[in-house]
Structure 1
Amino acid sequence: MLHMRRYRYYVLFTAAVVLLLYQFSKGSEQWHPSASILSNPEHDRDRGSSGITSSHGTNELPQQVNGKTGNDQNKVSIPDLKNPTYGSDNTDHVNVNRPPVSNSDTQGKEKQVFEYDKDGAKKETPAQLVDKPGKNVWDGKQPNPGAHTTTTAHWTRPTQNFPIPDDEIIPLPAGKPKKIPALQYPFGKETKEARLKREDRQEKVKLEMERSWAGYMKYAKGHDELSPVSKRFRDPFCGWAATLVDSLDTLWIMDMRDEFEEALVEVEKIDFTTSATRTEIPVFETTIRYLGGLIAAYDVSGAIYDILLQKAVELAEILMGVFDTPNHMPILYYNWKPQFASQPKRAGASVSVAELGSLAMEFTRLAQITKQNKYYDAVARITDAFYEWQERGTSLSGIFPEHVDASGCNRTAQSELDAQMNELGTKDSKNIYTRSEEPALESAASETTEGELHAFEKRGIAGTPDEDTTIPAKFIENGEEIHVGPDPAVVPKWTPSHADRRSSENSEKETRSALDKPLLPDCVPQGLAPSGWSEQYSMGGSQDSTYEYFPKQFLLLGGLEPKYKTLHIKTTEAVKKWLLYRPMLPDEDRDIRFTSKMITKGEPEIDATTEYEVTHLTCFIGGMFGIGGKMFDIPEDVEIGKKLTDGCIWAYESTPSGIMPEGAHLVPCDDMDDCRWNQTMYDQRLDPLWSTRATRLEEYYKARAEKKRKAKEEAERKAAEAKAEAEAEADPGPQDNIEKSFAGNNGIRRRAPPSKIGSSKNSAEDSRSPRLGAGQIPLQEDEDDDGFNDPARPISHEEYVAKKIENEKIPTGYVDVNFKRYILRPEAIESVWYMYRITGDKYWQDKGWKMFSAIISQTRTEIGNSAIDNVLIRDSRKVDEMESFWTAETLKYFYLLYSDPTLISLDEWVLNTEAHPFKRPT
């Protein structure tokens, strides 16, 4: 009996083991190495040195990553993106296969990097969000009734409406990289004293990073940004942990390896196929922060963490949908949910230059890593469009207006064509246009008008007809086919690779298919063009990073694409001709530069107006001039870069807080070589109405004197009347004799009491009475007040200037400070870092330290650093926002300013506009 009981226990135990093995085998199918998109053995590349070492001086990285051991550290698997595995047609989400977990005996930290908490990630539910305009902020307490709810819609790969044939994809430039002059100063051996000073500063920067990172991970992990005052979080992007992804390479560069490995676990949990906070992807911000952050972290860490490349590819595949337009210009706010992403659409008719042109580096570097030309093709077409436009000419030849029509449609020409077609239809006594009954086609948010969404269907109209030909077209009206043109039997075939190209040879089947498929309304094609009748040109917001990318793309492509050199040189020449100015300062010996904003209607020599602005965003330009001047051997541009960078340093030093404002205006010098301080001119610029104030004040005093004269005459008249009346009462006349006849035996008169007017006791009271005593003149205004107490008195020019400076706390030299905030921006310290690395001058390190000390003193909170409301006062209100670029850029640039110059050398790396380093070809 005992033997049988033992046998039953053995059977039960065996069954349990078999069941567990079965469940494990099912759960591990998706992790099979053969299914990973990162396990294509056909594409390998040499890794080379990352240029960054651990704290022990060696590349102490996990020696087994997804099956790669220490013996094959010089190779990396390139993903095969031609046929990635996605969810089946009956699912609503993408299923990008993940790499297998290593089965090695790796212990401790190395093992934690790769054992992602997939089950935990699935269980996580996004916290409730309080809906605020432009922000999503967790209340930290109760779910808010108006909060967003987690969306269930997931991205799936849509069918392309305008695919590019394989033979038309623009490949990466081939060949050996060209020799480019060294950008970085040849630093020598530093003294012990200098090294200790530098390392002490560097360590203090790192401490700020550690505190900000700890605050983010404790209170905002998995969300976009930390709110460092209230200890909450914000999700202004798509809730994909922007700060975490944006800071990955910073963690590695600062040798915060434990934090880096912890962050990798969170990276794996990000689901780019859905968002609980936004219905559209802000393409520019997503590209520079997320895609750039993942790629840079992959590069700086030695290209061994496949999860980083995998996530970069996953995101890039989603973003590739933005280029599916007739002219392949991108949709910049992309609703990537399936029901919208599948609709044909055009790029916007009014988009910013920066958003359009600042995608190049990220997609180019991804193409280099993956060997997939399609990523490069997507951005090369944008570059070609800018290059063609620059060659064709803009109002300020060489640079582009702030807002661009990227739709590819010449609306004026299309209107004329429509009028011609309608006239032809009128002659045939038929209305050839009917409003489409098909659902409105999707368009980028705020990038097309309502009229375009309900445009007439004009099937078969070619974009640009050949000479001496009539455009064949077929239209549907009330179910009846209406033909226009010489060949009514043919409906031209839509060729999706080119919006303006159609085939005239179609079968009946193709004809039916063309009619059934909803197409975008035809248009007369054009390249990039200004948007609107007024054009703004500057190097500031909405324009900046496109120009920054021209020389950096030249570096990233090893000098193999000369278009970027042409674009850069023509840009800098235009800046020097039209925008560069020297401000007038009390310190006449400080020779600095800024760039202005110019507004024109197309004829700048005649109608241009200039705003002599100074904005924090524009401070990147010092580094841009420095890099371009070095690589293209233009010493003048390096010198201009120094002056532009020093201008931003002056802007920091000029305020009580020691921090530069977001935006302000200065007074330009007429002569850049002779710029003396002129107090009269400065005061006049402070007061836009200075020329009229003296006249208005003079007119006021004339009117006041006339008023006084009239008041005096009136007072004298009344006094005379009162005197005559008093004298009449005192003169005994006939009436007085009558009164005496009625007097009593004692001879006393019976009359009214004598008047007290003019008596000393009541003189003050009587002077205010309408009835005045004899000779009494009413009191006048104090003749010495000069009208200062009169609210109607116009203010003088001198008074206006004094009050404006006092009330607005305007620092000397500024005309106004229209944006007083500081939001932890990096652009000024970015150029300071470039200038130090290019020149080797410790002046930049010392100035940078003053900037850092001021920023920390004014922005530090218990758990991080916050934007502040007003740099014109000390200890300004903190606005409870810590953008991801604080840890991604600002602190990184400060850290690198005090690092060994070999760390992220300019001759080995090129940084994108979010300070993400990409490996340069060698």
Structure 2
Amino acid sequence: MSWSTTPQLRWLRPLLALFAVFLLLQILMPRSTYTQIQHNFNGRYLAQPERQNAVKREFLHAWTGYQDHAWMADGLLPLSGGRKQQFCGWSATLVDALDTLIIMDLNDEFQDALNATLTIDFLESIEGCEVNLFESTIRYLGGLMAAYELSNDARVLPKLIELGDMLHTAFHTSNGLPCTHCKLLEKDLDIKPTEDAILADVGSIYLEFARLSQITGDDKYIETVDHVSQVFAQVQNDSSIPGLWPEIISPAAIGGDRTDFARKSTRFALGALSDSAYEYLVKTHLLMGKTRDVYESMWKRASREIKRFLLFRAYIPNANEKDVIFPGIASRTFGDSEAMLETRTEHLACFAGGMFAMASRIFGDPEDFYIGEAITNGCVWAYQNSPTGIMPETFTLLPCTNTTQCEWSDSCWQDQSNRPEHCMNGNCEQFKFPPGFLQVSDASYKLRPEAIESVFIMWRMTGDEYWREVGWTMFESIIEHTRSAFGHAALLSTMEIYDRDAYEKGLMVRKVLARQMDDMESFWFAETLKYFYLLFSDPDLISLDDWVLNTEAHPFRLTESVRGF
């Protein structure tokens, strides 16, 4: 007699049937098995004080240069000791560095910087200045917000509201979409939405204004965000690659009979013009996804097409048996069935490794983690295989013809690469790029953070010490080539090295190094050095389970009742 016909056990049958259905659903439906973004470090203290202090020393070296030679300016010129102004003269470096000073426990320096920041009159100094909405939002609004979040200093809040209200006027247009470069607050000024705007300039404002509403309790900021996000969702399938937005969009096209918001361009990428528009889909859902599902739906549509059209494997040596993927640039004209992929990648696109890795936990798609890891591997490869140990700004690779990582062959590379002449500073000669680099259209290094950002996220999500070792090598190479008398300088080329005088421990010494440029962006303090410091810190410092970092690496605290994961 079987158990299923035994009267005493017959009551189990419906329960077992329900359990079988449950198991089947677990198999068929993608679902995250994680309850946190970070790896479970089991409460271990994992800071590396020597490396932390090395990063802090470099920060203080550049910060002292800024204090002594460019205090209250937007930026320091690290070779000449001069000053530069970029964004209405609102002391970009000062504001951008506030939260890094707190994170590095530089309390005296923070108090000096905060006292100086509180003297900035955003409204008075705006006269005649064309406000860059994107840069002002991520650097200034984000910087003030993070300083307030981390310090709990009540003096910051009025300044935060002052700036937020002023930037919010950029949305006081006929259709609620912003003027991305405008003279704000002038009398009788008719603010109009931008006709041709960079995608990232419009698609990267959700996080800061949403958090500003959470902090102040004033819903006007988040209502603006909601309107913009709904517009992006409505037009997401209007482009020549439905699901993606092109590099150039038209905010002015919303309203009336026009339908060309997403038809101003047929180029699609994750680099300079697009980057944070996709990053903010993941991060804004993390900030407030329990109350809104639009960011999740946009991400799922966009990520599917990113994986289909923008990513490629390249013919490169020294891949170390790791899966390596690079983001490229796709073009497709309306009416064409096929898209053309340009296998040119950018340092700016390296953020996508961390973006996909975080999305894998937040949205429960394990494949996205491996994509994020492979993109990060590609950026690490570019660092490790350049003459300086630093990835160039933009370069082109030879694509693999198969769907898996192709094996390297020197003879095959010579046959396939067929590299053209290269002109450097007007002197045209056969310039031999390292194997794997088909062409380098911009060999500079602008002190960018995107590669170390993804390395940091991979460490926090895996706990694998490999990523810290990789990051330390990157840090040493960057400091070796960029350190200057007054700070750290951008590099003219990561592909060439020369004998030059270098500043080391207060002395000038002769070394074989890259040529420097007299420029040091504020994100050197806000992002690059911060990510290096956090990589070697204890994982509880700015935990990815408690904070979301904006695209300028300013941390905003997550709120349990509204956060999306």
Judge same fold: TM > 0.5, yes or no: yes
Q: CA deviation at 1:635?
A: 0.9
Cα pair distance change 1:189/1:556, threshold 3 Å = closer
Contact 1:867 1:879 (C-alpha < 8 Å) held by counterparts:
yes
Q: CA deviation at 1:286?
A: 0.4
Q: Which of 251, 255, 266 is matched with 2:105 structurally?
A: 255
Q: Which residue matches 2:444?
A: 821
Q: Which residue matches 1:540?
A: 271
CA distance in 2, matches of 1:805, 1:321: 50
What one-letter code is carried by the residue in structure 2 that aligns with 1:405? S
Q: Which residue matches 1:703?
A: none
Task: State yes or no: 1:374 paired with 2:220.
Answer: yes
Q: Which residue matches 2:36?
A: 182
Q: Which of 256, 278, 286 is matched with 2:136 structurally?
A: 286
Q: Which residue matches 1:859?
A: 482
Q: CA deviation at 1:616?
A: 0.4
Cα pair distance change 1:309/1:180, threshold 3 Å = farther
Q: Which residue matches 2:332?
A: 600
Contact 1:859 1:867 (C-alpha < 8 Å) held by counterparts:
yes
> Which structure 2 residues correspond to residues 78-477 of structure 1 after superposition, within 5 A?
181-188=35-42, 190=44, 198-275=48-125, 279-301=129-151, 303=152, 305-339=153-187, 342-390=188-236, 392-408=237-253
Task: State yes or no: 1:638 paired with 2:369.
Answer: yes
Cα pair distance change 1:672/1:201, threshold 3 Å = same
What one-letter code is carried by the residue in structure 2 that aligns with 1:312? L
Q: Which of 887, 892, 903 is matched with 2:530 structurally?
A: 892
Q: Which residue matches 1:463?
A: none
Q: Which of 643, 648, 668 is matched with 2:379 structurally?
A: 648
Q: CA deviation at 1:814?
A: 1.0
Contact 1:619 1:828 (C-alpha < 8 Å) held by counterparts:
yes
Match of 1:313, SS state, is helix
Q: CA deviation at 1:279?
A: 2.2
CA distance in 1, matches of 2:69, 2:335: 53
Q: CA deviation at 1:808?
A: 2.4
CA root-mean-square deviation: 2.3
- Residues 798-832 of structure 1 show CA distances to partners (whole Å, capped at 9, x for unaligned) of x99xxx99732411011100101001000000000
Q: CA deviation at 1:633?
A: 1.3
CA distance in 1, matches of 2:439, 2:88: 36
CA distance in 2, matches of 1:260, 1:810: 44
Contact 2:88 2:131 (C-alpha < 8 Å) held by counterparts:
yes
Contact 1:540 1:615 (C-alpha < 8 Å) held by counterparts:
yes
CA distance in 2, matches of 1:628, 1:917: 18
Contact 2:311 2:326 (C-alpha < 8 Å) held by counterparts:
yes
Contact 2:182 2:191 (C-alpha < 8 Å) held by counterparts:
no
Q: CA deviation at 1:528?
A: 2.8
- Residues 831-872 of structure 1 show CA distances to partners (whole Å, capped at 9, x for unaligned) of 000000011111100000000000000000122101010101
Cα pair distance change 1:380/1:527, threshold 3 Å = farther
Task: State yes or no: 1:920 paired with 2:558.
Answer: yes
Return the structure number with greater relative CO, CA threshold 8 A, min gap 6.
Answer: 2
TM-score by length of 2: 0.86
TM-score by length of 1: 0.53
Match of 2:249, SS state, is strand
Q: CA deviation at 1:683?
A: 3.8
Task: State yes or no: 1:835 paired with 2:458.
Answer: yes
Match of 1:530, SS state, is coil
Which residues of structure 1 form unaligned runs of 5+? 1-178, 410-499, 501-522, 690-794
- Residues 238-291 of structure 1 show CA distances to partners (whole Å, capped at 9, x for unaligned) of 111100100100000000000010011111111112448962001100000000
Cα pair distance change 1:324/1:525, threshold 3 Å = farther
Cα pair distance change 1:578/1:232, threshold 3 Å = same
Q: CA deviation at 1:181?
A: 2.9
Contact 1:558 1:920 (C-alpha < 8 Å) held by counterparts:
no
Residues matched between the structures, number:
509
CA distance in 1, matches of 2:293, 2:383: 37
- Residues 467-499 of structure 1 show CA distances to partners (whole Å, capped at 9, x for unaligned) of xxxxxxxxxxxxxxxxxxxxxxxxxxxxxxxxx
> Which structure 2 residues correspond to residues 23-42 of structure 1 after superposition, within 5 A?
none
Cα pair distance change 1:220/1:854, threshold 3 Å = same
CA distance in 2, matches of 1:253, 1:542: 30
Q: Which residue matches 2:407?
A: 676
Q: CA deviation at 1:676?
A: 2.4
Contact 2:77 2:519 (C-alpha < 8 Å) held by counterparts:
yes
CA distance in 2, matches of 1:817, 1:274: 44
Match of 1:338, SS state, is coil
What one-letter code is carried by the residue in structure 1 that aligns with 2:348? L
Q: CA deviation at 1:211?
A: 1.2
- Residues 666-689 of structure 1 show CA distances to partners (whole Å, capped at 9, x for unaligned) of 011111225123556644553379
Which residues of structure 2 form unaligned runs of 5+? 1-32, 498-512, 561-565
CA distance in 1, matches of 2:258, 2:239: 18
Q: CA deviation at 1:349?
A: 2.0
Q: Which residue matches 1:81?
A: none
Contact 2:314 2:405 (C-alpha < 8 Å) held by counterparts:
no
Match of 2:481, SS state, is helix
Match of 1:529, SS state, is coil
Q: Which has the larger radius of gyration?
A: 1
Cα pair distance change 1:684/1:805, threshold 3 Å = farther
Q: Which residue matches 1:587?
A: 318
Cα pair distance change 1:638/1:863, threshold 3 Å = same
CA distance in 2, matches of 1:254, 1:277: 35
Q: CA deviation at 1:558?
A: 4.6
Match of 1:818, SS state, is strand
CA distance in 2, matches of 1:840, 1:274: 48
